[in-house]
Amino acid sequence: MQPFAGIAELGRGLARGDYSARELATFHLERIAAADGDLNAFIHVAEERALRAAEAADRRIARGEGGPLTGIPLAHKDIFCTAGVATTCASRMLADFVPPYDATVVARLAAAGTVCLGKTNMDEFAMGSSSETSWFGPSRNPWDRGRAPGGSSGGSAAAVGAGLVPCATGTDTGGSIRQPAAFCGVTGLKPTYGRVSRYGMIAFASSLDQGGAFGLSVEDVETVLGAMEGHDPLDSTSAERSPTRRNGAGSMRVGLPSEYWTGLSGDMGDCLLAAAKELEAAGHVLVSHSLPHTDAAVPAYYVIAGAEASANLSRYDGVRFGFRAEDPADLGDLYRRSRAAGFGTEVKRRILTGTYTLSVGYYDAYYLKAQRVRRRIQQDFLEAFEEVDVIAAPVAPGPAFELGAVDDPVAMYRQDVFTTPASLAGLPAMSMPCGFVGGLPVGLQLIGPAFEEGRLLALGHEFQRRTDWHLRHPEG
Ligand code: GLN
C-alpha cells in the first residue's frame, strides 16, 4: 500500500480485493501514529470506531453495495459534532464535550461508507489563520515542521498533505479551507454558502460558516462534496439545489482582478502568473478587471464575524455544557470565571470586539456599515460575473509562515485579504496547488458565481490534468 493514492484508485483497490477497508484504515492509522506526534494534525484518533466502521464497509463491499466512498478513510475537522466522540473545537471550553448527535456532514459521509479515523486540529472555534490558537497546541506544516499549516482548518490540510488520510472535511468562514489548502499543497473547496448543511457544525459566524472538503485532487474534492452537500431540513439556510456537477469542457473567460494581482512578492507573482498562463494555454481567455471594494473586505469581515461570534459564543456559560469553574460564589461569578478560563485570548478578543460593535451607540458606525460594505462587495462580484465566468486569484499573500512569526492580531487578519471577499459574498471558492516558492507550496484560488461549483471543478480538473503540482508530496 502506498500513501497519497486518490479516492478512485483506493476504490478500485478495495473492489479488486487488493486490500480490505480494514487494512486500508490500519495502514493510515499507522501513518498517523508514526507522524502525528510531530505534526499534531489530530486532536483525537478514533481507532476502535474506525476499525468497526471499516469492517462494516468491508461487508458492504462484499455484498456489492459499496459506493465511491465506501471504505475510504477520512478525518473530520473537530468543529463537526460526532456522536460519542469528543468534539472540542480546539477549545478548553469544549475539551470534555462529547456530542449526543452527529453533524449532518458527518452522518452523510458515514452513510456513504467513509471510515472516520479521527478529529483534526484547528484554531480555537475556527478563529485564526495558522492553527496556533488551538488549546491542544499548534499543528505543523508537513512541508516544513517549523511553519504553520494555515488555519483554521490546519489539521485537516496537514493530515491530507502528509498522506495521513486521503481526504478530510473543513470549514471556511473567511478562508479556513482555502488558505490551509494552499499552505499544505492540497486542494480545498469552500462551497457556496448554503450548499452544505451547518447542522452540528459548531457555529462561529453563522452568515459565513460553510463546510467543505480537502483532497489530493479536484476530482477527490468533488467526490467528497457529492456526499456532503444538499438541502437539510435541520438547517434552514441550506439550499434546495440540484447536486454539483462538473461543467463540460469549453473556453471560459477567466477574470484576473487587478486588486488581487498587485503587490504580490516577485516570486509569488511569478508563480501565480505562470498558473494563469497555463489556463490561457488550455484555451481560456484571461480578462483583467476590477473588484473595487476588495480592500474593505478584511475590516468588514472582522466586524461581522466578530459580531456573530459574540452572539454564538454566549451559549458557553458554564451551566449547560462545557467548561465550568469550580465553587462559584454566585451565578455572575460562575459565568465570569468559566468564560475567563474556558476561552483563549483570540476568542476573547473576538467576543469583546463583537460585543462592542453591536452595542448601542456603535451599532450604526460598525456593524451596519460593515453590512453595507458587504453588499458592495457582493455587487462587485455580480458585476464581474457579467464579464467573466470564473475569477482566478492568489489565496494568501505568501506561502506558509513560520510558527510564531505573525504575532500581531491585525497582521494575522491581513492574511485573509484574498479569501474574505468571496466569503462575504457567499461564493464558492477553491484553492489548488500551482507551484512552489522557496520549497513551499503555493495555491491558486478560483472563485465562481453562487452555486457554480461545477465551473471551478471543471477548470481545476483541467489544470490538474495539465500540471503535476498536486502530485508532489513532502518527504517523510
Ligand atoms: N482567519 C479568519 C478568522 O480568523 C477565517 C477563519 C475561518 O474561515 N474560520 O476569522
Cβ of 363: how many Cβ atoms within 10 Å?
Answer: 14
pLDDT at 247 over 90: no
Read off the DSSP letter of residue 41: -
180 lines ligand 1 (CB under 6 A): no
Q: Is the CB of 174 under 6 A from ligand 1?
A: yes
**Residue 361 — very low, low, confident or very high, per pLDDT cuts 50/70/90?**
very high
Report the chain's mean pLDDT, rounded to a whole number.
97
So what's the pLDDT on residue 248? 82
The predicted pLDDT at position 11 comes to 98
Question: Residue 166 above 80 pLDDT?
Answer: yes
Q: Is residue 303 in a domain?
A: no
176 close to ligand 1 (CB < 6 Angstrom): yes
Element (H, E) at 379: helix 369-387
Per-residue pLDDT, 276:
98
Are 222 and 319 a contacting pair, CB within 8 Å?
Answer: no
Q: Is 419 in the pocket of ligand 1 (CB under 6 A)?
A: no
Domains: count for the chain: 1
Q: Provide the grid cell at 263.
A: 503587490
User: Is-contact 129 153, C-beta < 8 A?
Assistant: no
Measured from the CA of 423, which atom of ligand 1 is nearest? 8
Identify the band that residue 86 occupies on the pLDDT scale cut at 50, 70 and 90: very high
Residue nearest to atom 5 of ligand 1 (CA): 174
How many Å apart are CA 121 and CA 157, to the nearest integer? 10
What digits encode the pLDDT tens for the residues 201-229? 999 999 999 999 999 999 999 999 999 99
| Distance between Cα 423 and ligand 1 center (Å) | 10
Determine the distance separating the centroid of ligand 1 and the alpha carbon of 415, expressed in angstroms. 10
Q: Does residue 32 fall inside a structural domain?
A: yes
In a domain, 422, yes or no: no
Q: Is residue 279 part of a domain?
A: no
**Alpha-carbon distance 354 to 339, whole Å?**
15
Q: Is 77 one of the catalytic residues?
A: yes
The answer to whether residue 265 sits within a structural domain is no
Which CATH number characterizes residue 29's domain? 3.90.1300.10
CA of 130 from ligand 1 middle (Å) equals 9
Percent of the chain residues past pLDDT 70, beyond the cut: 100
Residue pLDDT, tens place only, 416-434: 999 999 999 999 999 999 9
Residue 392 has pLDDT above 90, yes or no: yes
CA distance linking residue 384 with residue 388, whole number of Å? 6
Provide the b/e sequence for 378-405 (b: ≥16 CB within 10 Å): bebbeebbeebbbbbbbbbebbbbebee
pLDDT tens digits for range 8-55 = 999 999 999 999 999 999 999 999 999 999 999 999 999 999 999 999
Q: Is the CB of 305 under 6 A from ligand 1?
A: yes
203 within ligand 1 shell (Cβ under 6 A)? no
Tell whether ligand 1 has an atom less than 6 A from the beta carbon of residue 82. no
Distances 376 to 207, 294, 425 between C-alpha atoms, Å = 16, 10, 9
The answer to whether 404 and 132 are in contact (CB under 8 A) is: yes
Tell whether ligand 1 has an atom less than 6 A from the beta carbon of residue 127: yes
Q: Which protein residue has the closest C-alpha to ligand 1 atom 10?
A: 127
- Tell me, in angstroms, the distance from the centre of ligand 1 to residue 413's CA: 8
Note whether 213 and 166 are within 8 A (CB): no
How does pLDDT run across 313-333, given as a tens digit for each residue? 999 999 998 999 999 999 999
Distance, C-alpha 296 to centroid of its chain: 23
Q: Give me the pLDDT at residue 252, please.
A: 97
- The answer to whether residue 440 is domain-embedded is yes
Does the pLDDT at position 283 exceed 80?
yes
Task: Show the 3-state SS of 64-130.
Answer: CCCCCCCCCEEEEECCECECCECCCCCCHHHCCCCCCCCCHHHHHHHHCCCEEEEEECCCHHHCCCC
Backbone φ/ψ region at 439: left (φ over 0), alpha (ψ -120 to 50), beta: left
Q: Mean pLDDT over residues 105-114, rounded?
A: 98
Ligand 1 atom closest to 176 (CA) = 8
Distance CA 287, CA 442 (A): 22
H or E element in which residue 237 lies:
none
pLDDT tens string 433-468: 999 999 999 999 999 999 999 999 999 999 999 999
Q: Is residue 476 over pLDDT 80?
A: no
Instruction: Report pLDDT for 139.
Output: 98
258 labelled catalytic: no
Q: Within a domain: residue 360? A: no
The ligand 1 atom nearest the CA atom of 305 = 10
Mutate to test the pocket of ligand 1, among 80, 125, 152 (most ligand atoms within 8 A of CB): 152
The 10s digit of each residue's pLDDT in 295-304 is 999 999 999 9
User: Are 156 and 112 a contacting pair, CB within 8 Å?
Assistant: no
Q: Which atom of ligand 1 is nearest to the CA of 172?
A: 8
Looking at residue 1, what is its pLDDT? 87
**Containing domain of residue 37, as a range?**
7-249+427-471
CA of 66 to the centre of ligand 1 (A): 36
- Report the separation in Å between the CA atom of 203 and the middle of ligand 1, taken as the mean of its atom positions: 12
Q: Over range 151-161, report the average pLDDT.
A: 98
List the one residue out of 174, 125, 183 whose CA is nearest residue 154: 183
Transcribe 136-200 into DSSP letters.
Answer: T----BTTBTTB---SSSHHHHHHHHTTS-SEEEEEESSSTTHHHHHHHT-EEEEPPTTSB--TT
Q: How many CB atoms lie within 10 A of CB 359?
A: 12
Give a yes or no: residue 441 inside a domain.
yes
